[in-house]
Chain A
Amino acid sequence: MQPFTYTRAGTIDDAIRTVATGGPGTRFLAGGTTLYDLMKLDIERPSRVVDLSGIEDMRGVDTAGPELVLGALARMSDVAAHPYIVSEYPALSESLWRAASQQLRNMATLGGNLLQRTRCAYFRGGAPFPCNKREPGSGCAAQGGIDRGHALLGGSDACIAVYPGDFAIALVAFDAKIDVLGPKGQRSLAVEELHREPHTAPDVDTTLEHGELIVRIRVPKTALGRASTYHKIRDRESYAFALASAAVALETDGAVVRAARIAIGGLATRPWRVRAAEQVLVGQPLTPEIAREAGDMALRGAKPGHDNGFRVELGARTVADALMIAKQRAGS
C-alpha cells in the first residue's frame, strides 16, 4: 500500500474543505470497505485520506416528514433493520440485508455503498491486465476475456464492468434523490443521475465533482413502497454479488396495476431503471405471462459477450419473479 497522510475530520465542513483543497489524490474515507480494500490492492493510491468516522451527524434515519431521509453515514445494517423501512419499503431493507455480510454491513455506510466501485476481476487484478477504468487508454481485458459476470447493458467498447451495488438499484426504483455538499455549496440530484455509463471515460464512475460529499438520501413517500421487493439471484444463496437482480414496486387497484417501478441490478454498468417495462404492466391484471413480458422488455437491448449470455434469460425471469412477489405484498 502506498503511504498516505491520514487526516481525521471533526466536522463535515472541515472534511470537504480538506478534500477540496487537497487535490485529486485526497479522498474521503467512511466505512473503508471499498476504498481501504482497493488501497491494499494498490488499485486506489490516495496521497491523503480524510476520515469521516469521527463525525457524529449524518447518521440518522428521519421518517417523520413527507420524505424518508437517510443520513449518508448511517450503517447499512442499522437501516436494513429499521422497523419503518422494513414495513414501508421492503425493497430498500432487502437491498441492504441481501448485500455483503453482517460484519461488512456494520461497517459500510449508505453513502459509501452508493459509491462502491466495480468488482470486475480485471479492474481489481491489476497488472498484467489492461483496464480502462483503472488505467485509461490501456484497453479492456474483459472483452475477449472471461466476461461471465460482466454487463449486458450500458457497456461501451472501453468498458463492460458491472455496477455491483444493490441499494442504489432500489433507490432508483423509488425516484430517490441525494443531497451533495461540496466546495461550491449544496446541490441535489436524482440517484439515477449519480452513476455514469462508461462511454469513452470509464475511469469516471459518477457525476460527483472532487470534494463533493453525499450527505443524505431522500426517498419520496409513496403508495408503491409496501408492495415492493428486491429480488437477488446469486451463484450462492447469500453473501455474493448479483448475477441478476430486480427492484420492483407496484400500486394496484384490485387486480389491475395502476403504477409500477422496475430497476435491474447486476446486469448493467449503472443502476438500470426500465420505464418501458413498467409501461407493459400499467392497466393490466398482473399475470405470470404479463410479468414475463415486462421481464423481456427490461432486458431489451442486452448485448451478450462470450460467457454471460445466460443472464439475458436469467434477468428476464428475475424481473418476472420479483413482480409476482410484489403482487403478493399488494394483497391482490
Chain B
Amino acid sequence: MTLSPGSDVSTYGGNAAQRDLPANALEVTVSVRVNGKPHTLPIDPRTSLLDLLRERLSLTGAKKGCDHGQCGACTIHLDGRRVLSCLTPAAQVDGHEVTTIEGLAAADGALHPMQQAFIDHDALQCGYCTPGQIMSAIACVNEGHASTPDEIREYMSGNLCRCGAYVGIVAAIQEAAVRMLRS
C-alpha cells in the first residue's frame, strides 16, 4: 500500500461525496504475493481476503462456508501461519505472502504429502471443507501440534466437516506428519 509522503497515516475509501474525496479514494491498492506470484490491484476496502482470492484472482480453492469465522473452510496461510481469509480484510495483507491450496503441489504436479495422505485415508466425502482442512493440517504439523490424536483433534477443531470424515482426517494428519518431519 502506498503511504502518502510526509505522513504516517494514509486514507482510502469511504463515502467520497460526503467527505469530498476524489472518486478513486474509494479504492485501496493492495500488493500481495499469492503462491509466489506478485499481484497489485485496487480493491474496495470492504473486500475480504477470501473474496479477493476467489473473485479477483480466480483462486477458488479456499471456500466460503459461513463467511463468519466459524467453519474453517476458508483457511489459508498468511506469512506461513494459518488464518481465516473470510475474517481478514484484504487491505491488511498488503506487503504480505499468501499461500492457498493451489500453491501446495510441486511444479511437476507432485502433491504435498498432506494432500496425498488425505486421498490415501479417504479423509473426505463431499470435499467442500477439504482445502481448509489441508491448509490447517499442514500448519498443525508445522506448529508441533500433531503429536497425538487428541492434540490433532484439539488443534483441528476450527475446521468443521459436515460429512463427518474426522476419523480419516486424523489418520491422514498422523501419517503426513511423519513424512513432513522426515523431509
Contacts and interface: CB of A to CB of B under 8 A. Distances in A.
Interface residues of A, number: 38
Given A50-B9, A103-B69, 16 more contacts: A4-B13, A4-B46, A5-B13, A5-B19, A8-B91, A9-B8, A10-B3, A32-B89, A36-B87, A37-B69, A39-B46, A47-B15, A102-B82, A102-B139, A107-B83, A238-B154
Nearest to A29: B89
A189 B100 CA distance: 42
A239 B8 CA distance: 38
B1 interface: yes
A199 to B, nearest CB: 30
B54 to A, nearest CB: 16
Given A4-B45, A102-B140, A51 B91 contact: yes
B161 to A, nearest CB: 13
B45 A5 contact: yes
Interface string A87-116: 000000000000011111011000000000
A227 B15 CA distance: 54
Main SS of chain A's interface residues?
A: mixed
Interface of A: 1, 3-11, 14-15, 18, 29, 32-33, 36-37, 39-41, 47-51, 53, 77, 100-104, 106-107, 237-239
B2 to A, nearest CB: 10
A8 B89 contact: no
A174 B14 CA distance: 42
Interface of B: 1, 3, 8-15, 19, 26, 28, 44-46, 48, 67-69, 72, 75, 81-84, 87-89, 91-92, 94, 136, 139-140, 143, 145, 153-155, 157-159
Pick from B3, B44, B46, B92 the residue with the most CB of A within 10 Å.
B92
B11 A6 contact: yes
- Identify the 3 closest CB pairs spanning chains A and B, nearest first: A101-B158, A5-B14, A10-B8
Given A37-B68, A238-B154, A102 B26 contact: no
A103 B46 contact: no
A80 to B, nearest CB: 11
Contacts of A41: 68
B129 to A, nearest CB: 13
B6 to A, nearest CB: 11
Contacts of B81: 77, 106
A7 B83 contact: no
Contact of B87 (A6, A14, A107, A238): A107
Given A11-B8, A102-B82, A51 B72 contact: no
A18 B9 contact: yes
Contact of A7 (B11, B15, B94): B11
Contacts of A77: 81
Contact of A101 (B26, B44, B157): B157
B11 A32 contact: no
14 contacts: A3-B26, A5-B19, A6-B11, A8-B9, A29-B89, A32-B89, A36-B48, A37-B87, A101-B72, A102-B139, A103-B75, A103-B83, A104-B84, A238-B153
B86 to A, nearest CB: 9
